[in-house]
Every structure is written in C-alpha cells, then in structure tokens.
C-alpha cells in the first residue's frame, strides 16, 4: 500500500494550507519518505472515520494509521530510526516551542489572514468555515482582519526571540533543521498559501530563515501554490 | 580545592540576584554538586581576571575555570555525565527558549524592577549601576519603572506559551525539570530577589510552576533572601 497523507485543501487540491499538514509534509520530506497527498476538505469528517479522528493530517503508512501532526512526527522517528531524526532528545523539549508557535504565530497570523481563506473553499466548506470562525472571533472575518496592516509591526516584533536565536545558529535544530523548524515553518506556509499579505520584511533574518526552509528538499515548499508573499 | 561559584550580589552576600547566576546555582543543585558561593560585586572585574572574563557567574571546579552560565551548563553535563542531565539532546535545542527568555522575560522584568536594584548596592556599585542603566534606557530608572503596574497585564499575557506548555507537562523538561526550567526560573528569581513587585497572580499555572521550582533541592531557592513576591 502506498504511503498516504490526508491533507487540508480547498477547491485546488495542490494548495495545501493547513499549518499542521505542512508540519507533516515537511516531516515526511525530512525523513526522505515519499507520499501521496490525499486531498481532504473541511466537513469531510466521514472520510476520516477509519482513523477515528476528525481532522487532518492523517498518515496512512502501510497498515499503520497515525492521526495528529505531533503523533506523526513521533511515529516517523520510531518507525524510521535510521533516517535523519526529527526530534532530538525528548519530545517534551519541543512543547514550549510548539506552544509559542501556536499562541504567538498561529493566533497572530490567523487574525491577519482569516478573511482570505473563504475564497479558497468550495460553497459547502466556505459556509462551514465562515460560520465557525465568525463564531470563534465574535465578528465577521472582514472585521477580524480590517486592521491587519496595523497589526503587522507588533507581529513582527513578537518574532524577536527567533532573531536572537538566529544570531547563534541557522535553524531551530542548530546547524540543520529539525521538527521545531517544521512547526514554525508550517505557520508561515499557512499564511503564504492563503494570503497575499507580506508578513516578513525582506531584510529580516526570519525571512532569510524562511528562504532556507523553502529551499529544502529541492524546493518542495517553494513550488507549492502561493500568493507570492 | 573546593568548588566555587562567583556570583553577583550587593551589600548582602546572601542575596544573589543575577538571573544568570541563578541558572548556574540551579544547575549545580540539579547535578547534586556542592559549591561555595563567592560574593562578587559590579565593578570588581579585577577579581575575575583569572577567568579572562568580566562577568559572573564564573565556576571554579578544581583546576578548571568556566565562565558564562551557558558554558557552565554544558561543562557540568560533560564533566559529570553520571549525574542527572541538564541538557537533553543537543544544546542548540535550548537556544530558542533562551532567546525567548531573554527578549520577553528579562527585558520585560528589567523594565519593571530596575529601579529597585540600586538600594541593594553599596555606593560604588550603585553609581556604576545607575549610570550604566540610565544610559541604556535613556531615562532615569524611576522613569523606566514608573508605569510598571500598567505593564504587568502585557507581561503576564506574554507568558501564554508557558501556560499552554504547562497544560501538557509540569516542567519545560517534561516530567522533571531540565536546564530550560533553570533558565526561565533564573529570570523570576532575579525579580524575586530585587523587587516587591508581584509578577504572577496566585492562580496562574506559571505561579504553580515557580512554586515547584522553589521547592526543588530542599527549598534552596525558597530560602534565598527575597521580598516575598
């Protein structure tokens, strides 16, 4: 059975935009493992019943089914120990980075790009997405992102820990990327896949880091559909 | 030769207040290594000439001299591999946490407590400290901290990544503390040693985490002179 990764997309099956799916995409590439992308749309929960899970990514690796990007990363290191490690040391050591990413990057990016996402979706998923997100934010998606240009300086300032780290080493993982890089890169790929908003200034060392990630694995991420930002 | 740790204090040799010295104190206790604290004051750079370094902490371990808290942590793991590890996996994996700590915690705490520090110092060090810090901030120290109560909500909000992590595990290190805990704890000990300002609300999970650290090693840090905050 071929290795399959169920991934979130909209009407364009090539435009994978979930930050969690990008973590798993990068993780598979990091391990040098080929996979077939299986397009999955919001509301298609029935199609994930086999995994006893309601969200992507879901990895099917032969007879093994693994749901959740964090579980996938740990599974890949356990199942393929002879290939480059994703997690160095104990997984607990990555929890703070993941929490920083989720509370600072994902939350911050969401408030700047969420109104760009409905245009990527078919009618049924669009209705689900708009309703669920407007409920979450308590306002229309256009209202959420109305001041996004004004939010950019604070968002960029919040990346300062990355800049300090990048003075010492080119990747979260040190001299080479590891799963911490893929976690954070996934957030930037979410923005890049969904929105024309330019999150990073060209002279920012975080931009240079993102360029290095875009170049990995023969430019896998760089070739993905995006808005050029 | 006894193991010695040169540490920053003011007129009270028991009140060690440098966050970097606290990292090394906690690191030595983590390894179960006794040490003699050697009081060191700002401006006593001559006394560190033997270490070819101008700042504390400096560790003297038999014939070996190690300056800089980061180097000390790595040295301790290398020199005492049979004792509990400070760093799991590669040191590079701790760089982001350290950068977050320095840019969010140290910078944020400094702006709220710096005016409390001169009172701890003798006349010569006080003059040095006030002049150098007023130059750094571009204003008097009282001006720096004048709005500290107003800064507290944003500071507490910036701890959100810690709260998300603490939902999953009791320490940065997982089920037990590691050097990441000591880095962040050192920042809180700086505040606790210098200032009566209450940084954390009592029902904050970050407060509960700090309590766990205060209890380590028979309450070593809890017994240190503080202002009770």
Query: Hey, how many other C-beta atoms are within 10 angstroms of the C-beta on A88?
Result: 19
Residue B229 domain flag: no
Task: Verify that B108 and B160 share a domain, yes or no.
Answer: yes
> pLDDT per residue over B48-106, tens digit each?
999 999 999 999 999 999 999 999 999 999 999 999 999 998 889 999 999 999 999 99
B160 contacts in chain A (CB < 8 Å): 99, 103-104
Whether residues A93 and B169 touch (CB distance < 8 A) is answered with no
What mean pLDDT do residues A10-26 have? 97
Task: Verify that B29 and B139 share a domain, yes or no.
Answer: no
Classified as helix, coil or strand, B106 is helix
Task: Verify that A99 and A36 share a domain, yes or no.
Answer: no
Task: Verify that B129 and B209 share a domain, yes or no.
Answer: yes
Closest-approach residue (CA) in chain B for A184: B96
B161 contacts in chain A (CB < 8 Å): 96, 99-100, 102-104
Q: How far apart are CA A172 and CA A165, in angstroms?
A: 8
Residue B174 domain flag: yes
Residue B226 domain flag: no
Residue A226 domain flag: no
Task: Verify that B100 and B205 share a domain, yes or no.
Answer: yes
Q: What is the pLDDT of residue B89?
A: 84
Residue A84 domain flag: no
The domain boundary residue, chosen from A58, A79, A100: A79
CATH number at residue B30: 3.40.30.10
What mean pLDDT do residues A53-78 have? 97
Query: Hey, how many other C-beta atoms are within 10 angstroms of the C-beta on B169?
Result: 15
Whether residues A97 and B99 touch (CB distance < 8 A) is answered with no
Task: Verify that A104 and A214 share a domain, yes or no.
Answer: yes
Q: What is the pLDDT of residue B229?
A: 63
The answer to whether residues B224 and B213 touch, using CB atoms and an 8 Å cutoff, is: no
Q: How many domains does chain A have?
A: 2
Which chain A residues touch B if contact means CB-CB below 8 Å?
88-90, 92-100, 102-104, 160-165, 168-169, 172-175, 178, 180
* CB-nearest partner of A88 from B93, B96, B103: B93
User: Of B222, B164, B210, nearest to B184 (Cα)?
Assistant: B210
CATH number at residue A162: 1.20.1050.10
The answer to whether residues B173 and B180 touch, using CB atoms and an 8 Å cutoff, is: yes
B100 contacts in chain A (CB < 8 Å): 96, 100, 161
Closest-approach residue (CA) in chain B for A101: B161
What mean pLDDT do residues A170-195 have? 98
Transcribe A50-100 into DSSP letters.
GGT-SSS-EEEETTEEEESHHHHHHHHHHH-TTSPPSS-S-GGGGHHHHHH
Residue A85 domain flag: no
Task: Verify that A69 and A104 share a domain, yes or no.
Answer: no
Residue A227 domain flag: no
Task: Verify that B195 and B114 share a domain, yes or no.
Answer: yes
Per-residue pLDDT of chain B (229 residues; tens, 9 = 90+): 589 999 999 999 999 999 999 999 999 999 999 999 999 999 999 999 999 999 999 999 999 999 999 999 999 999 999 999 999 988 899 999 999 999 999 999 999 999 999 999 999 999 999 999 999 999 999 999 999 999 999 999 999 999 999 999 999 999 999 999 999 999 999 999 999 999 999 999 999 999 999 999 999 999 999 987 6
Give the largest CA-CA distance in chain B: 49
Task: Verify that B129 and B17 share a domain, yes or no.
Answer: no
Q: Is A81 exposed, middle or buried (0-12, 13-18, 19+ CB in 10 A)?
A: exposed
DSSP code of B145?
Answer: H
Judged against a pLDDT cut of 60, whether residue A1 lies above it is answered with: no
Q: Starting at the earlier edge strand, list the strands of the sheet with A64-67.
A: A36-40, A4-8, A58-61, A64-67
Which residue range forms the structural domain that includes residue A43? 4-79
Virtual torsion, Cα A33, A37, A41, A47, nearest 10 deg = -80
State yes or no: cis peptide before A57, omega within 30 of 0: yes
Q: Which helix (H) or strand (E) holds B67?
A: strand B64-67
Interface test with A, best of B91, B93, B185 (most A CBs within 10 A): B93
Residue A225 domain flag: no
């Amino acid at each position: 059975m071929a290795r399959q990764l169920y991934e979130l997309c909209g009407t364009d099956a090539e435009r994978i935009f979930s930050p969690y799916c990008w973590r798993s995409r990068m993780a598979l590439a990091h391990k040098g493992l080929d996979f077939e992308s299986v397009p999955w749309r919001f509301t298609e929960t029935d199609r994930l019943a086999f995994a006893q899970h309601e969200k992507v990514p879901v990895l099917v690796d032969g007879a093994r089914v693994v749901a959740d990007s964090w579980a996938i990363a740990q599974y890949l290191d356990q199942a393929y120990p002879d290939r480059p490690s994703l997690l160095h040391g104990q997984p607990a050591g990555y929890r703070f980075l993941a929490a920083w990413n989720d509370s600072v990057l994902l939350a911050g990016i969401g408030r700047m790009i969420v109104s760009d996402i409905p245009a990527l979706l078919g009618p049924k998923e669009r209705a689900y997405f708009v309703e669920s997100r407007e409920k979450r934010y308590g306002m229309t998606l256009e209202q959420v992102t109305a001041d996004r240009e004004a939010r950019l300086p604070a968002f960029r300032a919040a990346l300062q820990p990355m800049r300090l780290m990048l003075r010492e080493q080119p990747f979260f993982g040190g001299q080479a990327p590891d799963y911490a890089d893929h976690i954070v890169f996934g957030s930037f790929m979410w923005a890049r896949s969904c929105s024309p908003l330019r999150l990073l200034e060209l002279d920012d060392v975080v931009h240079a880091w993102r360029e290095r990630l875009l170049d990995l694995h023969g430019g896998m991420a760089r070739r993905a559909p995006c808005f050029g930002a």
